[in-house]
Structure 1
Amino acid sequence: MSQLATVAKPRRNTELVLLLLALMVAVFANALVNINLGRSFDADFFSQAAILAVLSLAVHVSLRFRAKYADPVILPLVVALNGIGLAVIHRLDIANDDSAGPRQWLWTTVAVVAAVLVIWFLKDHRVLRRYTYLSLMASVVLLIMPLVPGLSAGDVNGASVWIKLGPYTFQPGEIAKITLAVFFAGYLSSNRDLILLAGKKVGPLQLPRARDLGPMIVAWLASVGVLVFQHDLGSSVLFFGLFMTTIYVATSRVSWVIIGVLLIGAGGFVAAKIFPHVAARISVWSNAFDPEVIGKAGGSYQVVQGLFGMANGGLVGTGLGQGSPDIVPLANSDMIIAAIGEELGMVGLFAVVLMYVLLITRGFRAALGTRDSFGKLLAVGLSFAIALQCFVVIGGVTRLIPLTGLTTPFLAAGGSSLLANWIIVALLLLISDAARRPIGTTVAPHLDGHPANDSPQKAVGTP
């Protein structure tokens, strides 16, 4: 086959077709809610459909100008997930006489605008490598903010992870997962050779030197600190898992994974013995169907109702608007997966999970394609953050693991989560653009001082 036949194509038209299908899914889901609940198609319905279309096309047009070789599948997947989430939240608002839907629309607008700004003003993802240690400092500040008197929103649903911004609340830890991913990618891409220096060998495992364990110990202490002071098991697992994945990809050594698993296992065991809130969370998980556990405050009523709801949904679900997901506490945020499982059934829930799988694999594909080590590690870290968050949430709702309180990316009500995840999508799109871009079209070939190994160019033939 000739070289001209294998040159990477922008595929923006493919993205546009998929985007129109994603918008149809979102609008159709919202229409089903109105039909099944006997509501008319008022001005709000058409204005919301128009807003989602304008926001989605704004990202699409931005990619045509700023990242025309970006992956064509990522944006449609995210728009479909975000649209389904908006429809389910709207359905729960009607049942609970709540106003979470308008707030979610506001945050969707803010999040998409933030993603567009990232695409327009971040010319090359490698620029972020310059801010490796600044990202670490920002992460520390973001994680400490919910503990600062006067700024903290206090204990919300058992966790101290929120700050007050006037009439609104915000979760800085959601942004911290991005800054931590930048730090881990920058640090490990710069110090990989030092970390790979041989340490002691125990059987088939090549252990790292004691001095190289410093970053892992710091990450471990940070995750334990989040668990202890903020009572947030989910974020603790997310932050440490993010570091573990990045260092494994950087070094390809299983010994790092084994050490990390031992550290988090030891930390979790000690925390369960010392801190009552951790022990209570594990007790609720292991004894979920105990009548005493179901009935007590902070017990397993939420999880059990979610399980019964999904069982009621069966294979194909009750239909949007025809189930009873509103009886599950926090159905529009922590338990939105249970609401989807009840009204869309196992088929609909599997379809949602498949969209997440496709999104995550496209992120990993961008990591494989880009030629600079920083971009590889950053794309892997950001993609794994979404993957781990989905696993922790879905695992908690289905009682595979203890429920942690993390939000389901793009689906659940929560502005800070939506903002952070749309920024992650923008970064993945930029990295995929660098991975798919043909040789000779690079804008800034020496941006991070590593022209030979860290060029964002990709050999021709990238699919």
Structure 2
Amino acid sequence: MSSTSASEAPTALPPVKRRNAELVLIIFAIGITMAGIALAGINLNGRVPSAMWTVGLTFGALSAAAHVAMRFVAPYADPLILPCTLFLNGIGVAMIWRISAAEVEDIERAGAGMQLVWTAVGLIFCFLIIIFLKDPRVLQRYTYISGLVAIVLLMLPAIPGLGREVYGARLWIGIGPFTLQPSEFAKIALVIFLASYLMSKRQVLQIVGKPIKIGRFTLIELPRARDMAPILVGWLLAIGMLVLLTDLGTSLLLFGTFLAMLYVATQRSSWVTIGLVLFMVGAYVAYLIFWHVQARVNIWINTFDQDVYYQVGGSEQLVKGLIGMAYGGLFGTGLGAGELHSTFASDSDFILATIGEELGLTGLLTILMVLGLLVERGMRMALASTGVFNKLLASGVAFVLAYQVFIVLGGLTRVIPLTGSTTPFMSAGGSALMANWIMVGILLRISDNARRPAPQAIQDEGATQVIRR
């Protein structure tokens, strides 16, 4: 055995698992979470709160359990996805505890218990996906079922008696004392439907129809008229969300994800152009007809107008957020030393504004860089996957995460009208956190499958190690 030539050894060894690197990054995320709670407590009350240990170590235990599970159920998965997600989740827990502490007289009575509960539930869903969804391609069998599930979930809040309108948007359903936002789970079903449908129809959708030319130059190559049905259905669904549920954020998110996945499947920019024109036309018509759309646009354009500021549901929240971020400057006021905690929804829709005030531009850019890295790893998994369905599924999940951040930050900075969306993994609430962890589970499963070596390569590696000994 020892005389075996080097040429008989495998030319390429299997990928390194990198679980130890993942562990180091997770320990760093836990440390940041505990340090954030400690700093907030010092700024609020001059001492380190006991929550640094109770909340921090509980989050640490959940993170450690997730890492140990990864070593058994997805050992070849990307080593950055889980640490990035836990880092964002931990910052969210620390900020939610800080906001809770500012609302009570004794910070020892403050807590982030429900956010930790939802984190635990989200991690359970994440690993159930990894364990039982061995090959995501089985989801191709349920193309139209997943599409129907997405539509039903989106329309549930519109049912009288079941749907609940909160602060002008009809996004929740109520069952007894419990509320749920079904649109958060609808986006997962929609991505599965689009990945399966576009995989089977991409060759048809790539066919060019009549080009529009200016002289010798082709301005745009239009698809055939009979192939326009998918984009029209997506457009009608998005406009229906905008009109019936008064939810610009979800409407923009779902239609934007649809256009991005359509482009990935066909590589034709004409679909994106047509989709953007359709959405702008539909939004403009909705603005002319519906008062709630006019109110959103009025707050967006006339944010600092005194009449808009003081009206019910006006721009006061947005103005406070802008001033708070400006007051934070480059390095922020410090955790626990800001004033945005008193702003409505500072722990959910406006959590990025709170971070901008207390951690400054530096802290906010750090958060955005980690979010961007998470999206990049999703795109990387799409490129590394062999099957078209897995490529579309991974890219769709990455697009959903990216669009969520754009919608939140775009609303806070007045790039687009404020929509009331949540920041992935950071905002308070259970529906969004569980849905985002499910999407991370999908990415981790795709990642593990893409990076896992073939069985023969594993045998060759074992033989090579024996030879070297």
Same fold (TM over 0.5): yes
Corresponding residue to 1:146 among 153, 157, 175: 157
Deviations 1:44-71 (A, max 9, x none): 4423222212222222222222221111
TM-score of the aligned structures, taking structure 2 as reference length: 0.91
Tell me whether 1:38 sits opposite 2:45 in the alignment.
Answer: yes
Partner in structure 2 of residue 107 of structure 1: 118
Following superposition, the deviation at residue 182 of structure 1 comes to: 0.2
Corresponding residue to 2:409 among 391, 394, 415: 394
Comparing 101-110 with 82-91, which one deviates more in the overlay? 101-110
Q: How does 1:339-350 map to 2 (within 5 A)?
A: 339-350=354-365
Secondary structure of 1:161 counterpart = strand
Deviations 1:165-187 (A, max 9, x none): 33221100000000000000000
Secondary structure of 2:261 counterpart = helix
Partner in structure 1 of residue 171 of structure 2: 161
Q: Distance in 2 between matches of 1:441 and 1:199?
A: 47
Comparing 237-246 with 124-133, which one deviates more in the overlay? 124-133
Partner in structure 2 of residue 450 of structure 1: none
Q: How does 1:32-431 map to 2 (within 5 A)?
A: 32-38=39-45, 44-97=51-104, 101-153=112-164, 155-203=165-213, 204=218, 205-431=220-446
Deviations 1:76-110 (A, max 9, x none): 01101011011111111122249783222221111
Secondary structure of 1:206 counterpart = strand
Tell me whether 1:434 sits opposite 2:445 in the alignment.
Answer: no
Q: Distance in 2 between matches of 1:85 and 1:115?
A: 18
Q: Distance in 2 between matches of 1:355 and 1:207?
A: 38
Q: Distance in 2 between matches of 1:41 and 1:31?
A: 5
Q: Distance in 2 between matches of 1:414 and 1:437?
A: 35
Q: Distance in 1 between matches of 2:142 and 2:70?
A: 24
Shift of the 267–148 alpha-carbon distance from structure 1 to 2, 3 Å rule, reads same
- Contact 2:41 2:49 (C-alpha < 8 Å) held by counterparts: no
Equivalent position amino acid for 1:171 in 2: Q
Q: Distance in 2 between matches of 1:350 and 1:322?
A: 19
Structure 1 alignment gaps of length 5 or more: 444-463
Q: Distance in 2 between matches of 1:27 and 1:250?
A: 43
Structure (1 or 2) with the larger CA radius of gyration: 2
Comparing 282-291 with 200-209, which one deviates more in the overlay? 200-209
Structure 1 outlier segments of 4+, above 4 Å: 1-6, 39-44
- The number of equivalent residue pairs is 442
- Contact 1:8 1:436 (C-alpha < 8 Å) held by counterparts: yes
Q: Distance in 1 between matches of 2:190 and 2:172?
A: 18
Comparing 50-59 with 217-226, which one deviates more in the overlay? 50-59
Structure 2 alignment gaps of length 5 or more: 1-6, 459-469
- Contact 2:55 2:111 (C-alpha < 8 Å) held by counterparts: no
Q: Distance in 2 between matches of 1:202 and 1:71?
A: 44
- Contact 1:161 1:230 (C-alpha < 8 Å) held by counterparts: yes
Equivalent position amino acid for 1:163 in 2: I
Deviations 1:386-417 (A, max 9, x none): 10110110111112211001101111112100
Q: Distance in 2 between matches of 1:117 and 1:431?
A: 14
Deviations 1:291-339 (A, max 9, x none): 1111111111011000110111111000000111123221111111110
Equivalent position amino acid for 2:266 in 1: T
Equivalent position amino acid for 1:167 in 2: P
Identity %: 48
Partner in structure 2 of residue 452 of structure 1: none
Deviations 1:133-162 (A, max 9, x none): 110111111011111122212x10110000
Q: Distance in 2 between matches of 1:277 and 1:202?
A: 37
Secondary structure of 1:413 counterpart = coil
Corresponding residue to 1:21 among 6, 24, 28: 28
- Contact 1:58 1:116 (C-alpha < 8 Å) held by counterparts: no
- Contact 1:100 1:413 (C-alpha < 8 Å) held by counterparts: no
Partner in structure 1 of residue 462 of structure 2: none
Q: Distance in 1 between matches of 2:141 and 2:456?
A: 23
Secondary structure of 2:112 counterpart = helix
Secondary structure of 2:45 counterpart = coil
- Contact 1:285 1:402 (C-alpha < 8 Å) held by counterparts: yes
- Contact 2:14 2:452 (C-alpha < 8 Å) held by counterparts: no
Q: Distance in 1 between matches of 2:259 and 2:34?
A: 39
- Contact 2:243 2:290 (C-alpha < 8 Å) held by counterparts: yes
- Contact 2:38 2:49 (C-alpha < 8 Å) held by counterparts: no
Secondary structure of 1:248 counterpart = helix
- Contact 1:63 1:119 (C-alpha < 8 Å) held by counterparts: no
Shift of the 368–282 alpha-carbon distance from structure 1 to 2, 3 Å rule, reads same
Equivalent position amino acid for 1:286 in 2: I
Q: Distance in 1 between matches of 2:284 and 2:74?
A: 46
- Contact 1:318 1:343 (C-alpha < 8 Å) held by counterparts: yes
Shift of the 436–93 alpha-carbon distance from structure 1 to 2, 3 Å rule, reads same
- Contact 2:44 2:102 (C-alpha < 8 Å) held by counterparts: no
Q: Distance in 1 between matches of 2:131 and 2:37?
A: 31
- Contact 1:59 1:115 (C-alpha < 8 Å) held by counterparts: no
Deviations 1:359-410 (A, max 9, x none): 1000000000001000100111110101011011011111221100110111
Q: Distance in 1 between matches of 2:51 and 2:333?
A: 25
Secondary structure of 2:15 counterpart = coil
- Contact 1:62 1:120 (C-alpha < 8 Å) held by counterparts: no
Q: Distance in 1 between matches of 2:12 and 2:44?
A: 52
